[in-house]
Amino acid sequence: MIICILKESKVSESRTPLIPKDILFLKKKFPKLNFLIEPSKKRIIKDDEYYEIGCGKFTNQKVDLFLSVKEVSLKKIESNQNYMMFSHTIKGQRGNIPLLKKILEGNCSLIDYELLKNKKGKRQVGFGWYAGIMGTYLTLSKILQLKKKLKKNYIINDLIKNFHNVDLQDLKILITGDGLVSEGAQFFLKKIGIFPSKKHNKNIPSFKILPPNQYYRCMDGRFNINDLIKGKGKYKSLFNKYIYNYDIYLACHYWDSRFPKLFNKKDVNSRFFRIIGDITCDIDGSVPTTVKSTTLASPYYRYKNTEIMAVDNLPSALPYEASKYFSSKLKNVLPKILKSLNEDTIEEYYVSKKGYLNFRYLNLLNYLI
């Protein structure tokens, strides 16, 4: 069986899904498994490092599974192939509907990292922790007017050092989410000297984690997280009670189109958050002011009186550490992926298999019409 690591299509993307160390681990465990590398000058791991451990150069050979971190460009999608990536299609994201359409028309299988979960429903691979760190760094950098420019291939310690001797003022920060994205944000805040506080202390910076039962409520007064996730019951947002009491809002929570938006655009005024770091970056999602995504080169835009940070590929600013972590998780789930390629069943981590849309995601047909 042959796996090929593709060159990333996005200009600013230098991460890799598998590092040489973990490829060696897989080859030792599965001697018949072979790897090809599509040459790339921007990948954080140099091509020669892969060739040195026995990986071949991809020159359009027959391949069983193509790996990419982000979306593969349409021109590289070939019929009757298997692709694994963050496709950003399962929520019906408008910008990637052409990708999903080409996958289906080409009788291809699409496996999305976002759908790989353990028995408890927790994601098995991802970059969320690094997104939380980088998103928090950029958000605070703006409000504190940190003048240091982003360097290529940062590591986390570089980010922390940039905040040495910086006056953190008495910033009050609100965070939604309890997963890896939120954990990354909290990690960074604590590292630079900002800690959680149950009560406002006007003289010191602090942050508050807001659980979903405090900003979502069913119309009948109940709250059940499983019902919310499954779209059962009519839920409303209670988020308005917080929007005028904090300087910074970090959006780190999962959102689905069945969930209510947190607030209305008309709520944005001079008393609103000074800046929103929408780390999850769902355009026209739970945060209505996220009307577009931004880039690492130009991370912000202004919405009325509020700055918005909505970079959609935050972990790519920490390419080596993020790739190393991601690869260490991916190596453990790849065997079951490879085994599933030739099975008749469609596991939940497939968006499509051999051109057939997974029955779990038939709602995507509404976007394909």
Evaluate if pTM is beyond 0.85.
Answer: yes
Task: Beginning with the edge strand found earlier in the chain, give each strand of the sheet holding 34-37 in spatial order.
Answer: 56-57, 34-37, 2-5, 65-67, 82-85, 109-112, 350-353, 356-357
Does 2-124+320-368 match 128-312 in CATH topology? yes
Distance of CA 36 to the CA centre of its chain: 26
Report residue 162 as tokens: 């940039």
Using DSSP, state whether 94 is helix, strand or coil. Answer: helix
Using DSSP, state whether 51 is helix, strand or coil. Answer: helix
CA distance 190 to 369: 47
First vs last Cα of the chain: how many Å apart? 36
The answer for residues whose C-beta is within 8 angstroms of residue 271's C-beta and 6 or more apart is 244
Report residue 74 as tokens: 């349409």
Q: What stretches of 255-305 adopt beta strand conformation (E)?
A: 275-278, 300-303
Mean pLDDT per block of 10 residues along the chain (369 residues) reads 95 94 96 97 97 96 96 95 95 88 96 91 91 97 85 87 92 93 96 84 88 90 81 87 95 87 93 96 91 93 96 93 97 95 93 95 86
Report residue 113 as tokens: 């990292």
CA distance 266 to 35: 53
Using DSSP, state whether 68 is helix, strand or coil. Answer: coil
Report residue 261 as tokens: 């938006």
Please report the pLDDT score of residue 366 as a whole number.
86
Q: Which CATH architecture does the domain made up of 2-124+320-368 adopt?
A: 3-Layer(aba) Sandwich (3.40)
Phi, psi of 355 (to 5 degrees): 90, -5
- Domain spanning 128-312 has what CATH number? 3.40.50.720
Boundaries of every domain in the chain = 2-124+320-368, 128-312
Please report the pLDDT score of residue 200 as a whole number.
60
CA proximity to 349, closest of 178, 112, 132: 112
